Amino acid sequence: MSGQLSPEEQLTYLTDGIDTLLPEGMLLERLQEGRPLRVKLGVDPTAPDVTLGWAVVFRQLRKFQEMGHTAVLIIGDFTAQVGDPSERADTRRRLGASEVEDYVSGLMDTIRGLLLEENLEIRHNSEWLGSLAMSDILDLTSKFTVSRIMDRDDFSKRWAANKPISLIEFMYPLLQAMDSVAVEADIELGGTDQLFNLLVGRDLQERSDQPAQLVMTVPLLVGTDGEKKMSQSLGNYISVNDEPAEMFGKTMSIPDAAMAEWFALAAAWSAAAVEEVKEGLGAGQLHPGQTKRLLGREIVALYHGNAAAAEAEEAFDRVFRDHGFPEEIAEFDPATAPDRSLPTVLAAAGVASSRSEARRLIRQGAVRIDGERSDDESLDVSGIGDVVIQVGKRRFVRLVTR
C-alpha cells in the first residue's frame, strides 16, 4: 500500500486523529527518505486483557505497517516489574516476574491479531535491561538530572502534596528510554499520558549519539462511565475479546456525550466522519439512540464482522426492547457450587465476581429469577427448579440440575 501513496499522502493517513507529533514537520522529512522507518511501541503486560482503549495505539502502529514501515513491539517484561507511574497519584504495586509472564502469555495472541504479521519485530526489554550492571545504571542516571525527571506533571503534583515517590519510579522513564536506544527507534508511539516518557527517549538517544526519535501520541479513550479513561482496574472497559452481544450492550450504556470520541477512537472513524456525526447530533439531524446503535454495530463489526454486529443488535433488542432472554445462555449446575445459597451460586456461575458483590447486587434489586426480582440473600436455589437468572442488564445464567 505504501508504494501507492506519496510521502505527503502517507503523512495525512498516519496523522489522522493523533494528538501530538513532535518535532513538528519532521515526520514528512523522515517519510521522504524512502526507507522503512522503525516505529516503536512499548507495552507493559500488567493486566490480563486488551481494551478498546488500548487497541487505539495498536491500530496506529498497524497503520505504519500498512505503509511498509517496521513495527517494533517492545514487550516490557522487565519494566512491568518496575511499574509506570504515569497519570497516578500514588506509588504502583510492583509485579513479580511470574505474574508478568502469565500476562504476556495471555495477551500475545490478541495483540498479534491486532497487527499485521509482516513488518513486525517483537522484542522483550529484559534482553537488555535484565543484564544491566551497576556501572551501566550509574552511567544511565548520570545522563539525567532530578529536575528533568521532576518535569513530569504527576511527579511534581505528588511532590507538592507530600506524597511518596520511590526512586524506582524515577528510573522508569530512563529504562523506557533505553528501549529506544536498544532498537534504534525512528518514531515512538504512546498514549497522551506517555508523552514525557517518549521525550526522555529522544533525550537518551541524542546522548547516545543516535538520531532522536519522533514522538507520536494518540488520545486516551474515556471508559463506559464517560468520565475516567478506560481502565481494567476501574472496570469501565470493553475488551476486544468480548462476545459481540456483550460488546454491543456495553457500548449502548455509554453517555451520549462520549459518542463522538468513541466513533473516533473505538470505531476508528476518520476525523472528517466524526465531525459529521458531531454536527448531526448538535443540529438534531441525528437521533442519539440510533446513532449509538450505529456506533455499537461499527465497534462489533471491527472485531467480529458485520454479521455478528447485526446479530448483537438483535440480541440487545430481545433483552431490552422486547424484554426477552438472549438466544444463548450459559448453563450452570448449582450442585457444583460450594453451597446452594443464591450469592454463592451467582459467584460460582460467573455472573458476579464474588459472593459479596452478589449480595450487594441482590440488595440493589439487580437480580431477577425468571423475570421476577429477588431480594432474598439467603435463598436456597436447590428447590426452585430450572430457571434463568438475570444479573444487571447483560448477565444471564440458566440453572440446570443434571
User: Strand locations in 53-133, DSSP E?
Assistant: 70-75, 120-124
The predicted structure's pLDDT at residue 3: 53
Q: Which element (helix H / strand E) includes 67? A: none
Identify residue 137 by its one-letter amino acid code.
I
Say how far apart CA 223 and CA 235 lie, in whole Å.
9
- Give pLDDT tens digits along the chain (402 positions): 555 789 999 999 999 999 999 998 899 999 999 999 999 999 988 888 899 999 999 999 999 999 999 999 999 999 888 876 654 544 456 677 778 888 888 889 999 999 999 999 999 999 999 999 999 989 988 888 888 878 777 788 888 888 887 788 888 889 999 999 999 999 999 999 999 999 999 999 999 999 999 999 999 999 999 999 999 888 899 999 999 999 999 999 999 999 999 999 999 999 999 999 999 999 888 888 899 999 999 999 999 999 999 999 998 888 776 666 777 788 888 888 899 899 999 999 998 888 888 898 898 888 888 777 888 888 888 767 677 888 887 788 888 876
Tell me which architecture the domain covering 2-218 has in CATH. 3-Layer(aba) Sandwich (3.40)
**Fold of the domain built from segment(s) 331-399:** 3.10.290
Cell of 155: 511527579
DSSP state of 222: B
Query: Where do the structural domains in the chain lie, given as residue ranges?
Result: 2-218, 244-321, 331-399
Q: Considering the entire predicted model, what is its pTM?
A: 0.77
pLDDT score, position 122: 95
Distance CA 285, CA 309 (A): 24
10 Å CB burial of residue 54 (0-12, 13-18, 19+) is buried
How far is residue 69's CA from residue 120's CA, in Å, rounded to a whole number? Answer: 9
Cell numbers for 346? 451467582
